[in-house]
Chains A and B, each alone.
Chain A
Amino acid sequence: MLMGRYIPGDSAIHKMDPRSKLLVMIAFIAVIFLANDWLGYLLLLIYTFAGVWLSKISISYFLKGLRPMLGLILFTVIFQMLFTPGEHILFHFWILQVSIESLINAVYIFFRFVLIIFMSTILTLTTPPLTLADGIETGLSPLKKLKVPVHELGLMLSISLRFIPTLMDDTTMIMNAQKARGMDFGEGSLLQKIKSVIPILIPLFVSSFRRADDLAIAMESRGYQGGDGRTKYRQLKWQSRDTILVISIIIMALVLILWSKVSK
Chain B
Amino acid sequence: MEIKGGSYTAVIGHTGSGKSTLMQHLNGLVKPTEGTVTVGDIVIKNDSKAKEIKPVRRKVGVVFQFPETQLFEETVLKDVAFGPKNFGVSEEDALQTAKEKLNLVGLPEEFWERSPFELSGGQMRRVAIAGILAMEPEVLVLDEPTAGLDPKARIEMMELFESIHAIGQTVVLVTHLMDDVANYADFVYLIEKGRVIDCGQPHDVFQKVAFLKQHELGVPKATEFAVALQKQGVEFRRLPITRAELVMVLSSMKNHLGGDL
Binding site for B on A (CB under 8 A): 170, 173-174, 176-184, 198-199, 202-203, 206-207
Contact = CB atoms under 8 A, between A and B. Distances in A.
Nearest to A199: B72
A173 B83 contact: no
A202 B73 CA distance: 8
Nearest to B116: A206
Given A176-B29, A181-B82, A182-B135, A203 B69 contact: yes
Interface residues of B, number: 24
Interface string B218-248: 0000000000000000000000000000000
Nearest to A170: B69
Q: Which 8 A-B pairs have the closest CB atoms?
A: A182-B86, A202-B72, A177-B70, A181-B83, A180-B62, A177-B64, A182-B87, A199-B72
A181 B24 CA distance: 13
Contact of B132 (A173, A181, A203): A181
Nearest to A178: B70
Given A176-B64, A182-B54, A203-B71, 14 more contacts: A176-B24, A180-B62, A181-B86, A181-B131, A181-B132, A181-B135, A182-B57, A182-B86, A182-B135, A184-B50, A184-B54, A184-B86, A198-B72, A203-B70
A61 to B, nearest CB: 26
Contacts of A179: 29, 57
Interface string B84-124: 10110000000000000000000000000000010000000
B27 interface: yes
User: B27, B62, B67, B70 — which one has the most chain A CB atoms within 10 A of its CB?
Assistant: B70
B252 to A, nearest CB: 46
A199 B27 CA distance: 19
B64 A173 contact: yes
Given A180-B27, A181-B131, A206 B70 contact: no
Contacts of B58: 182
Interface in B1-58: 24, 27, 29, 50, 54, 57-58
